[in-house]
Amino acid sequence: MNQQKIGKFIASCRKEKKLTQAVLAERLGITDRAVSKWETGKCMPDISLIPELCEALEININELLSGERLNMMNYQKMAEENLMQLQKQEELNNKKLLHLEIIIGILSCVFYFLMIFALNWDKLSQGQTRLSLSDMEGWKIVFFIISTIIFLIGIFYCVKLEHDTGYYECPNCQKVYVPTMKAVFFAPHIGFSRNMKCPYCNQKGYHKKVLYKENTDAKSID
């Protein structure tokens, strides 16, 4: 997709509707700076805002992504091309989020174990390998609890990122769906594959993470 072309098209449609950037931004619940970035081609509208933006400008999604008004002759061709571009963009965004999950998970674990090591350095330096919370001084216990809370928050955020990113595919019926947060959190996993029950065929198995789906009929696990 040509961001410059789309940006100019948004600006043109906005002016046709006699809307200022501030008024359009207010309708969409964003800042006028965000609208300015769209129109200068610096970034694309978030996918969640596209339907509202098209409604405000009285254009369809296919025209927005094409950056021009379309006639019936080339509508289907551009629709297919735009769908492919959206899938690629969704896949790229989801890859970035999964990479972020890995980074946060590694940093959380490294931080936690470094804190445990630091709090027990005096015992380890004396050759004691058995560590006990009851042997710690009061201030060390406080730091241990704080470190544990930070670690658990990091792990929870990682799981939430994985849940919110992409979809899962059932190995039995090949259906793609969005599970509940509870299902993802408590499911045994190998990498990004989790052992869950499919909401379509009710069969359990390791459902692999997929970064986009061709249709939008998502279903959640109970």
**25 phi and psi angles, rounded to 5 deg:** -60, -40
* In contact, 38 and 28? CB cutoff 8 Å: no
Taking the C-alpha atoms of residue 183 and residue 19, their distance in angstroms, rounded to an integer, is 45
Q: How confident is the model at residue 222 (pLDDT cuts 50, 70, 90)?
A: very low
pLDDT average, residue stretch 14-19: 92
Ranges of each domain in the chain:
3-66, 87-164, 167-210
What is the predicted pLDDT for the residue at 216?
42
Rounded CA-CA distance 160/96 in Å is 14
pLDDT band at 129, cuts 50/70/90? Answer: low
Dihedral pair phi/psi, residue 66, rounded to 5°: -85, -25
Q: Is the pLDDT of residue 112 over 80?
A: yes
Q: Is the pLDDT reported for residue 156 higher than 90?
A: yes
> For the structural domain made of 3-66, what CATH number should be given?
1.10.260.40
Q: Does residue 132 carry a pLDDT above 80?
A: no
Mean pLDDT, range 130-152, rounded to an integer: 77
Rounded to 5 degrees, what are φ and ψ at 165?
A: -100, 120
In the chain, the percentage of residues whose pLDDT exceeds 70 is 82
User: Which regions of 57-216 does DSSP assign to beta strands (E)?
Assistant: 167-169, 176-177, 189-190, 193-197, 204-210
Q: What is the mean pLDDT of the chain?
A: 83
**At 46, which amino acid appears?**
D
Residue 57: CB atoms within 10 A of its CB come to 19
Least confident of 98-107, 126-135, 149-158, 208-217: 126-135
Q: Which of 99-103, 120-124, 218-222 has the lowest mean pLDDT?
A: 218-222
Measure the CA dihedral 98/103/106/110, to 10°: -160
175-221 residue pLDDT tens? 889 899 988 989 998 888 999 999 899 999 999 998 876 544 445 44
pLDDT per position as a tens digit, 39-86:
998 888 888 888 899 999 998 888 888 888 876 666 666 666 666 777
- Cβ neighbours of residue 203 under 8 Å, at least 6 residues apart? 170, 172, 173, 197
Condensed to tens digits (0 to 9), the pLDDT of residues 75-97 reads: 666 666 666 777 777 778 888 88
| Nearest alpha carbon to residue 64 among 1, 142, 147 | 1
